[in-house]
Structure 1
Amino acid sequence: MLFNDSDRARIARAIADAEATTAGEIVVIVNTRPHRYTATMLAAAVLAAFVLPFGAVLAGWAPSLLFPDWDVLDAATRERHAVEGFVAAQAVLFVATLALVAGLRLDRILTPRPLRRDRVHHAAMVQFRARGLSATQGRTGLLLYVDEPEHVAEVIADDGVFALVAADDWADTIAALIDGIKAGRAADGMVAAITRAGAVLSRHLPPHVGDVNELPDTLIEL
């Protein structure tokens, strides 16, 4: 767990303080649940089922090893048994590989990092829409999203912010967050990131008369 109750209170205060200087709406979400990569598990199992039996044949394995009466079988029966034996070996390898990869959680290791980052981005976008950031007045929602298992942090801005703030302007926000987590001070990093995000928003979206707090200021942990 990255945060305790005291940390959560600090982060909520930091969000409220940052939003007091801007018309923007800041939401902070931290995901701590590991991702499962089903496609990778299935791909590994299929690859093992197709490659390993062929490798075994090249290494000298033969269907006759599975059938003690191989020498007395007629040609048609031998051919049928050979196909059955090969298919059975593939089925066993598929199930065994799938169980091994899933049980040892090798799917994350076997999944290329760009694909894992895409998964995190997709999850962040789902949360962005689900938490109402795309429905604020003026479209001024800003999401700070941290995926702890994948060690990825993202800043996602709604249209009203994106039109005014360049993507590079969030570099310091991300850096503060990542530096704090790497140093073992996740709460400090989060507070620093929120403060810097608030400073960016205040320059481009200062508060206006009648501005209301549309989204909760509490840390959201998944």
Structure 2
Amino acid sequence: MGGIPGFLQPMSILARYFSKSDLDEIKSAVGEAESKTSAEIVPFFAESSHHYKEWAWFGAFLMGGLSGVTFYTAQNLYSLVWGGESFFAVLSVWVGALLGLAITAVFPKVRINLVSRGAKQYFVDLRAKEAFLDEEVFRTKNRTGILIYISLFEHFVRVLPDKEIAKVVPKSEWNEAVRLIVDGMKSNKKKDGIVSSILFCGDLLKKYNIQIEKDDKNEISNEIRDGGKLM
């Protein structure tokens, strides 16, 4: 058996947002940054950090309430009297709720706009920590791995350094690495932002004397990781 034909296989998240030359450039940037330091830089790209399906019910609640208010306002404004007003009022709420549920369930980008910033931050932080463990960033010889976690739909980035780097580099120093990627996502220059951030991290580590060792080996591959599709 030859397996699933290529045209039937789902497109990877990376292939959806980056060309092959983009991915090669990001990989090269990791290699260049690591040539200055003993650290291992692991970029990780996720389309989103959670499916947020729970918020489809919030969409139903909002649309149901809006439909009910609209019906009540129209009835009073235009003095609509046809009998069975209570039935039609309840019906308008249910129709609106079902419509809101359907829209937010089918369209993830609509759904995510209902989510509070705090909730998004929670799921991004949680998924970044999971990625740190899944990619085994902690398994470097001197505990000098760094995860750069990028969550596209939320426009959030997290830089998670392993303990030996965290001891030396203040948290505030990573703000520029985050800003470069976020600005790139907002301006539709995702690859440029990621490359700039990776190179910045290499210079920052060199600044704090996380120097490359004589017997340094590439302990973690340089490719950007595909976070898959959650929504």
Identity %: 25
Segments of structure 1 that go 5 or more residues without pairing to the other structure are 67-86
Q: 1:154 aligns with which of 153, 158, 161?
A: 158
1:99 aligns with 2:89: no
TM-score, normalised with respect to structure 2: 0.71
Q: For 1:38 and 1:135, how far apart are their aligned partners in 2?
A: 34
Q: 2:28 — aligned with what?
A: 13
Give the drift of 1:207.
Answer: 1.4
1:134 to 130, 138, 154: 138
Rounded Cα–Cα distance in structure 1 between residues aligned with 2:203 and 2:128: 23
Deviation at 1:139, TM superposition (A): 1.6
**Corresponding residue for 1:188?**
192
Taking the aligned partners of 2:137 and 2:27, their CA distance within structure 1 comes to 17
- Is the contact between residue 32 and residue 148 of structure 1 (CA under 8 Å) also seen in structure 2? yes
Task: Report what 2:214 is aligned to.
Answer: 209
SS of residue in 2 equivalent to 1:193? helix
Task: Give, in angstroms, the shift of residue 43 of structure 1.
Answer: 4.3
Q: 1:11 to 1:115 in 2, by over 3 A?
A: same
Alignment partner of 1:2 is 2:7: no
Q: CA separation in 1, counterparts of 2:190 and 2:91?
A: 51
- Higher helix fraction (1 or 2): 1
Larger Rg: 1
Amino acid across the alignment from 1:101: T
Q: Check if 1:22 corresponds to 2:37.
A: yes
Using the alignment, how far apart are the partners of 2:58 and 2:180 within structure 1? Answer: 37
Q: How many residues align?
A: 205
User: Contact 1:24 / 1:141 at 8 angstroms: preserved in 2?
Assistant: yes
SS at the partner of 1:110?
coil
Alignment of 1:114-133 (within 5 A): 114-133=118-137
Q: CA deviation at 1:56?
A: 8.6
Instruction: Return closer, same or farther for 1:161/1:3 CA change in 2, 3 Å cut-off.
Output: same
- Could you say what secondary structure the match of 2:149 adopts? strand
Shift of 1:35: 4.2
TM-score (norm: length of structure 1): 0.74
For 1:175 and 1:103, locate their aligned partners in 2 and report how far apart those are by CA, in whole Å. 31
Decide whether the 8 Å contact of 2:49 with 2:127 is kept in 1: no
Equivalent of 2:179, from 159, 167, 175? 175
Q: Does the aligned pair in 1 maintain the 2:155–2:185 contact within 8 Å?
A: no
Return the alpha-carbon distance in structure 1 between the equivalents of residues 191 and 64 of structure 2.
46
Deviates more, 1:110-119 or 1:37-46: 37-46
Deviation of 1:150 (Å): 1.7
Q: Cα deviation per residue 1:170-201 (whole Å; 9 max; x = unaligned)?
A: 12222222333334332222221111101112
Distance, in Å, in 2 between the alignment partners of 1:179 and 1:56 is 43
- State the distance in 1 between where 2:125 and 2:60 align: 26
- Cα separation, 2, equivalents of 1:104 and 1:7: 28
Deviation of residue 101 (structure 1)? 2.6
What value does the CA root-mean-square deviation take over the aligned residues? 3.3
Distance 1:45 1:162, change over 3 A: same
The answer as to whether partners of 2:63 and 2:99 remain within 8 angstroms in 1 is no
Compare 44-53 and 112-121 and name the one that shifted more.
Answer: 44-53
Indicate conservation of the 8 Å contact 1:36/1:107, yes or no. no
